[in-house]
Amino acid sequence: MDYAATGQQALARIADAGDLDSVEALRVEFLGKQGSISGLLKTLGAMSPDERQSEGPQIHGLREAVTAALTSRKEVLEGAALEARLAGESIDLSLPAPEAPRGSIHPVSQVMDELAEIFADLGFAVATGPEIEDDWHNFTALNMPESHPARAMHDTFYFPDKSDSTTAPGGTTNAPSGTYGHQMLLRTHTSPVQIRTMLEQGAPLRIIAPGRVYRSDSDATHTPMFHQIEGLVIDKHIHLGHLKWTLETFLKAFFERDDIVLRLRPSYFPFTEPSVEVDTGYSFEGGRRVVGGSGDDPGHSWMELLGSGMVNRHVLEAGGLDPDEWQGFAFGVGVDRLAMLKYGMNDLRAFFDGDVRWLAHYGFSALDVPTLSGGVGAGV
């Protein structure tokens, strides 16, 4: 058999194939189970050793040549088909762009940013601490020992395990009792950050401590998890006048009104002495509370907004400071409550429901970055 002529004929037919279907048909004709070249390969078994030695290389060479030709022709035709398809496709740039995925900044995150901007302008640094706290930092160091009735003020989430008492950080001079239990809990306020910062940095200090806190409570104005921000100033010759000016300046900047009027009422907190509740005037406009004006004016009322006071000397001692040399004030307010007052929300539980309709209504654009120069409520 003239294998060379057979191969030339096969290669010529492959080169003339005009489409991929024709190439596939030739592959089946030559190399399929019933193909002509496959039939030649099957004859090798019936040949003598001498015939197999002479015929075998020619048959295998024929198969390899045809296989390579089929592969090459297929690649050429596939490339031509792709070029034709690309040449026929176009993009109409006049069509509107597809709607981009939308998201929003949660009101709590927005208010956190606003508060950080305001207090940064007043020289405050942001301090953070763990949300899982020990009993000493959360209570005892804040002048609430184990037997103190003030612990009943908090419905605390305790962890079940409790280890033996251990010496307080810094030794006995930093704790009223000298020891503290490693009872672990979810912090009930961000005040432990004040203790940790005093122990780590000493004085003077000017910090805010924003973050999540936890208490066992749930209704329209309370949730088991909520957000709080506390402020702490430690320096020499600090008094209540500094506290009142700081709070007035902060609230005027936050609510973007100059008619904010504060009223300080005596109160009790274990970690401050003297302690004061801070009330602000408000009125109802459009069915919602609007902060501003004096509560003694017609149509206005007083509303309790936050707690504050001068840092108790026992707390200063727990923080490793000499209360005869250093004084300071502290204050705390709920971030969620501030958001409700500023942006007209009436149910705290909606903050954490994840309802996209609520988020679309009350959420903020990523470009609504609070700035003191442009107003904390204005985007840039």
Letter string b/e over residues 190-215, b meaning 16 or more CB atoms within 10 A of that residue's CB: bbbbbbbbbbeeebebbbbbbbebbb
Write down the domain spans for the chain: 3-85, 107-362
pLDDT in tens, 170-200: 443 344 444 445 788 899 899 999 999 999 9
pLDDT in tens, 323-347: 999 999 999 999 988 988 888 887 7
What is the distance between the terminal CA atoms of the chain, rounded to a whole angstrom?
Answer: 86
CA angle 368, 210, 134 (to 5 degrees): 155
pLDDT in tens, 46-72: 888 888 888 888 888 888 888 898 899
Return the pLDDT at 98.
Answer: 65
In this prediction the pTM is 0.65
State whether residue 116 is helix, strand or coil.
helix
Q: Determine what percent of the chain is predicted with pLDDT higher than 70.
A: 87
| DSSP string for residues in 275-324 | EEEEEEEEEEETTEEEE-B-TTSTT-EEEEEEEEEEEPHHHHHHTT--TT
pLDDT range class, residue 285, cuts 50, 70, 90: confident
- State the average pLDDT over residues 68-78: 90
CA distance 184 to 144: 16
Q: Is the pLDDT of residue 152 over 80?
A: no
pLDDT range class, residue 312, cuts 50, 70, 90: very high
Main-chain dihedrals φ then ψ at residue 291, nearest 5 degrees: -75, 135
CATH fold group of domain 107-362: BirA Bifunctional Protein; domain 2 (3.30.930)
Return the pLDDT at 291.
Answer: 87
Q: Is the pLDDT of residue 45 over 90?
A: no
Mean pLDDT of the chain: 84
Structure tokens belonging to residue 281: 């005037």
User: Worst-scoring range by mean pLDDT, 42-46, 90-94, 229-233, 342-346?
Assistant: 90-94
